[in-house]
Amino acid sequence: MNGKLVGAGILLVIPLIAMIALPTYNRTTPELLGITFYYWYQTIWLVIGAVLYIAAAKMISSVYKEGEAA
């Protein structure tokens, strides 16, 4: 299996693991601008997840482009 595909798979699993670990972020303190940590954590992971998905898509795309060139 291509190393880029494995790397892309790992990038796709990271946000899933971060969101499954509910006890690590299910709390009300600290607050930032009156918004609890729970909501900040999810919002930050939404952005991080989008970046990781884009990176994984580019990695997968490059694997298929290399396959077409060969």
pLDDT on residue 2: 84
Cβ(69)–Cβ(11) below 8 Å: no
Element at 35 (helix H, strand E):
strand 35-36
Q: How far is residue 59 from each of residues 10, 32, 33, 45, 46, measured CA to CA in Å?
A: 11, 35, 37, 20, 20
pLDDT on residue 61: 92
Q: Give the structural domain span for 42.
A: 3-69
Q: How many structural domains are present in the chain?
A: 1
pLDDT on residue 14: 95
pLDDT tens per residue, range 3-47: 889 999 999 999 999 999 888 888 878 888 888 888 899 999 999
pTM of the model: 0.79
Supply 36's token pair.
């609890």
pLDDT on residue 69: 56
Amino acid at 48: I
